Chains A and B, each alone.
Chain A
Amino acid sequence: MPRTAEPVGTDLLRIDDELSDEERLVRDTVRKFAADRIMPNIADWFEAGMLPKELAPELGRLGLLGMHLKGYGCAGMGPIAYGVTCREMEAADSGLRSLVSVQGSLAMFPIWKYGSEEQKNEWLPRMAAGEAIGCFGLTEPDHGSDPSSMKTHAVKDGTDWVLNGAKMWITNGSVADVAVVWATTEQGIRGFLLPRGTRGFTARNIHKKLSLRASVTSELHFDDVRLPADAVLPGVTGLKGPLSCLSEARFGIAWGVTGAARACLEAAIDYATTREQFGRKIGGFQLTQGKLAWMAADLQRAQLLALHLGRLKEAGQITPQQISLGKMSNVRTAIDIARTARTILGANGITLEYPVIRHANNLESVLTYEGTEEIHTLAIGQALTGISAYR
């Protein structure tokens, strides 16, 4: 009989002991919410390719939406609390974490950072409460990794703006009450706020996705959309506007994916310690243990990386290259863990009865959005060599 001892959980290094009381409370609150409200339904939502809208006000009441912003109904929490929230949401599902990321970092953040007082007062309190949903329109059908060559443009007509073009792959696009749309103008790239129902502005859902199914992805079309002068975000011109939002969101992704990876590792351990083949637990085979051990080591490295990024951000010192490194490395780690976990679950690994294939499929989107793995690789390559391989 092989000797057995109590398993110790996946946080072998006790990295979570580094969290403050407040951050632990945030963690426990989100975990409990996910266990109560998300986990019982997520497989069905994923299968049906939908996300119930009433989740947004619930997340708003808890304070998740725009939690790292100050004022205007936002909780004003630190970057690590934000990271932990992303992690616990993504341990449930990347689609739900995307909802929180897009709302807080891509839609609320630009309004908070670059908006006028009127724009902030109009949108932020309702968005924080989850009563209004936002989306972020940067990617276009023909311009993904290279957004600087976007075709969507706005021209002045008197004091108004007239917007034309299209955006693609926009999370929350068709459910958004306000779209933050980036367009070229004579002055360079500017951000515009388009309320739902603005004449000439339409959104259509993208169907047949096999990844991030519990999240709405849409195309946006702008056909001579006339906008008043105060629709533009006054505080920023140029690509640094959208890129600064992406930095916020990518930071959350570097944390978030560790949640998905943890969920996969937990599922794999659980399965390995119950499933029997050849008369013994599959977790008793050295090959399985080797997989689990490396998954745990990789996960803990990713968690340390996320925590370190959090500390840098807290100190106000984080750079885009550091965020690129975190996004690139942690998403790759998470996807590898998800795929390895899937092998341990055998055939059960491909069903929605277990969380693993859902996470693995979701992570394919996470690998691509917010800057593909390749583009982040090139950003790091440029930081290391001083040579740009892509611009």
Chain B
Amino acid sequence: MNIVVCVKQVPDTWSERTLRESDSTLDRDAADAVINELDEYAIEEGLRLAEAHGGEVTILSMGPDRATEAIRKALSMGADKAVHLVDDALAGSDLLGTSAALAAVLGQIGFDLVILGSESTDARTGALPAMLAERLGVPQLSYASKVEVDGSAISIHRLADYGYDTVEATLPAVVSVVEKINEPRYPTFKGIMAAKKKPVQTMSLADAGIDPATVGLANAASEVTGWAKRPPRQAGTIVTDEGDGGAKAAGFLAERKFI
């Protein structure tokens, strides 16, 4: 099975994140960069499927030069090779541009299964997997908490408030995963050493046959018109226990859909 896992490098959620004054895009230099956390679950799932069914795991990442760090981590976890789509003209691409660019690369390198994290911690739209599936003309199985492949049949558990739905399709397909799905492995030191020798193919827009007029900030269909700093954190709610503390706490949690 030819599995492609899409990986995005994002600013560490622990570091202070800001938008640039000039063009309202994320200031990626100001923060430490890490693999988008959910993508680690996608990589893990790809590796497990390849281990169980045979095949190869390819990492696909669109991002600046610095994204090689994220790619290296993915290869250290055990992926076989990587494709890095990197081109200055891609900077500031919105979802439409990003999905068009990734679809173009996927069309070129081929795939049986594309796996993504269900959202990234920077933009948090969660719409890319659907757009990608649409552009590729293949089924999408989203918010998977479990994936099973049997020949060309694929089924997932789609996480829902009430439990899960079982969703089935035939390969090739696009799957997006949630963190319940697995526990990502650590990159081992041997994996880190082996990653240095794994092939990373760098592609430009021209290499991938992407029309520059479909990507980049200038061609984005969406625009950031304004933004503000997050307001300071509000003081917590204090629940006074007058014999009904348990019920009050449960009510608090239920209101927020934790229980």
Chains A and B belong together in one complex:
yes
Interface residues of A (CB under 8 A from B): 6, 21-22, 24-26, 28-29, 32-33, 61-64, 67, 75-77, 81
Complex CA distance for A77 and B191, rounded to whole angstroms: 11
With an 8 A cutoff between CB atoms, is B81 at the interface? no
With an 8 A cutoff between CB atoms, is B53 at the interface? no
Tell me which residues across on chain B come within 8 A of A33, comparing CB atoms.
Answer: 186
Asked if A62 contacts B188 (CB within 8 A), the reply is yes
18 A-B residue pairs with CB within 8 Å? A21-B72, A22-B192, A22-B193, A22-B196, A25-B72, A25-B76, A29-B186, A29-B188, A29-B189, A33-B186, A62-B186, A63-B188, A63-B189, A64-B189, A75-B190, A75-B192, A75-B193, A77-B192
Asked if B189 contacts A62 (CB within 8 A), the reply is yes
With an 8 A cutoff between CB atoms, is B8 at the interface? no
Q: Mark B173-193, 1 if CB is under 8 A from A, else 0.
A: 000000000000011111111
Complex CA distance for A202 and B192, rounded to whole angstroms: 40
Q: Closest CB-CB distance, B232 to chain A, in whole Å?
A: 11
Given A6-B16, A21-B69, A25-B73, are A77 and B189 also a contact pair (CB < 8 Å)?
yes
Complex CA distance for A81 and B192, rounded to whole angstroms: 11
Question: Could you say which of A6, A24, A28, A61 contacts B188, with CB atoms under 8 Å apart?
Answer: A61
Tell me which residues across on chain B come within 8 A of A81, comparing CB atoms.
Answer: 189
Q: Which of A25, A64, A75 has the most CB of B within 10 A?
A: A25
With an 8 A cutoff between CB atoms, is B214 at the interface? no
- Interface residue ranges of B157-214 to A (CB < 8 Å): 186-193, 196
Would you call the interface of chain A mostly helix, strand, loop, or mixed? helix
Asked if A63 contacts B16 (CB within 8 A), the reply is no
Asked if B188 contacts A25 (CB within 8 A), the reply is no
Q: Closest CB-CB distance, B236 to chain A, in whole Å?
A: 14
Q: Mark B75-115, 1 if CB is under 8 A from A, else 0.
A: 01000000000000000000000000000000000000000
Complex CA distance for A28 and B35, rounded to whole angstroms: 12
Given contacts A22-B193, A77-B193, 5 further A-B contacts (CB under 8 A): A21-B72, A25-B76, A29-B189, A67-B189, A77-B189
With an 8 A cutoff between CB atoms, is B58 at the interface? no
Complex CA distance for A77 and B186, rounded to whole angstroms: 17
Complex CA distance for A63 and B192, rounded to whole angstroms: 10
Tell me which residues across on chain A come within 8 A of B192, comparing CB atoms.
Answer: 22, 25-26, 29, 63, 75, 77
With an 8 A cutoff between CB atoms, is B61 at the interface? no
Asked if B189 contacts A75 (CB within 8 A), the reply is yes
Asked if A21 contacts B68 (CB within 8 A), the reply is yes
Tell me which residues across on chain B come within 8 A of A32, comparing CB atoms.
Answer: 186
Complex CA distance for A26 and B76, rounded to whole angstroms: 10
Q: Closest CB-CB distance, A197 to chain B, in whole Å?
A: 31
Q: Closest CB-CB distance, B231 to chain A, in whole Å?
A: 15
Q: Closest CB-CB distance, A24 to chain B, in whole Å?
A: 7
Complex CA distance for A6 and B232, rounded to whole angstroms: 12
Complex CA distance for A76 and B72, rounded to whole angstroms: 18
Complex CA distance for A145 and B188, rounded to whole angstroms: 37
Asked if A22 contacts B186 (CB within 8 A), the reply is no
